[in-house]
């Protein structure tokens, strides 16, 4: 399949804005994609945002982001303390924060939650991303969960097998508070990558998948 490549004029490196509602969402949804882009030398700037990052989970989120972004010199990790589970009622504050982000950053690509995610915090995050950023390429990542909202994504990033293992190890190493959750297991994370790899005929057998609702070819 002919791959689409996101490039800036003059081959400048990309500026990414990566948004997650909770401390481990970004790593689960698109951690291997971010790591792949960084390894390819295609990332110049990253603004990494966790909206409900407080107490122990804030420390986990920061340590994880710093580890994943290690070689990106121009990086900013922002942890906010919006109330976990209550984003529909925190919408005004989150919207104000997003407007502030837009004034401070000009990302080429934004990673956020997928629109049909049934977790209320994820859904509000996705809606306010689209509501705020109207001149940007937005890719929506997926989070497997109890609610059963997995759909049919339409954009895939092949992931090398060693990076699949690295993703699982990274999640287990950095998110100790989640290890007792029945769904937080390596086979779930690697299994989803394998499934998405089949769907895009990935040459590595694995892929992370996204929803790309609009894009321009040029």
| Helices and strands (H, E) in the chain, number of each type | 6, 7
Q: How far apart are CA 188 and CA 108, in angstroms?
A: 30
**Closest to Zn ion by CB, 25 or 208:** 25
Q: Give the nearest distance from C-beta 143 to Zn ion in angstroms.
A: 6
Q: Give the nearest distance from C-beta 195 to Zn ion in angstroms.
A: 20
**Closest to Zn ion by CB, 30 or 43:** 30
**Closest to Zn ion by CB, 8 or 56:** 56
DSSP notation for 27-91: HHHHHHHHHHHHHTT-EEEEEEEETB--HHHHHHHHHHHHHHTTT-SEEEEEE-BPPTT-GGGSH
Interface positions with Zn ion (CB under 5 A): 21-22, 25
Residue nearest to Zn ion (CB): 22
Task: Calculate the CA 98 to chain-centre distance.
Answer: 16
Q: Give the nearest distance from C-beta 44 to Zn ion in angstroms.
A: 27
**Closest to Zn ion by CB, 40 or 183:** 183
Beta strands at 74-79 and 43-50: parallel, antiparallel or unpaired: parallel
Q: Give the nearest distance from C-beta 144 to Zn ion in angstroms.
A: 11
- The CA distances from residue 216 to 13, 135, 137, 148, 163, in Å, are 19, 11, 9, 31, 29
Q: How far apart are CA 43 and CA 89, in angstroms?
A: 34
Q: Give the nearest distance from C-beta 25 to Zn ion in angstroms.
A: 4
**Closest to Zn ion by CB, 22 or 196:** 22
């Amino acid at each position: 399949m002919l791959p689409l490549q996101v490039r800036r004029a003059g081959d400048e490196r990309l500026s990414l804005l990566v948004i997650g509602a909770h401390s481990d969402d970004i790593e689960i949804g698109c951690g291997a994609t971010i790591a792949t882009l960084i390894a390819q030398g295609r990332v110049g700037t990253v603004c990494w945002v966790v909206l409900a990052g407080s107490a122990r989970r804030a420390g986990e989120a920061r340590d994880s982001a710093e580890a994943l972004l290690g070689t990106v010199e121009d990086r900013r990790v922002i942890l906010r303390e919006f109330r976990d589970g209550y984003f529909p009622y925190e919408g005004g504050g989150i919207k104000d924060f997003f407007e502030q982000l837009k004034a401070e950053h000009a990302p080429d690509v934004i990673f956020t939650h997928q629109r049909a995610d049934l977790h209320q915090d994820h859904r509000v995050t996705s809606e306010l991303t689209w509501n705020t950023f109207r001149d940007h390429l937005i890719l929506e990542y997926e989070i497997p969960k109890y609610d059963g909202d997995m759909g049919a994504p339409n954009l895939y990033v092949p992931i090398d097998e060693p990076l699949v293992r690295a993703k699982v190890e990274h999640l287990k190493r950095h998110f100790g508070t989640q290890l007792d959750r029945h769904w937080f297991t390596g086979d779930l994370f690697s299994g989803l990558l394998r499934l998405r790899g089949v769907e895009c005929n990935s040459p590595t057998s694995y892929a992370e998948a996204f929803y790309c609702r609009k894009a321009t070819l040029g």
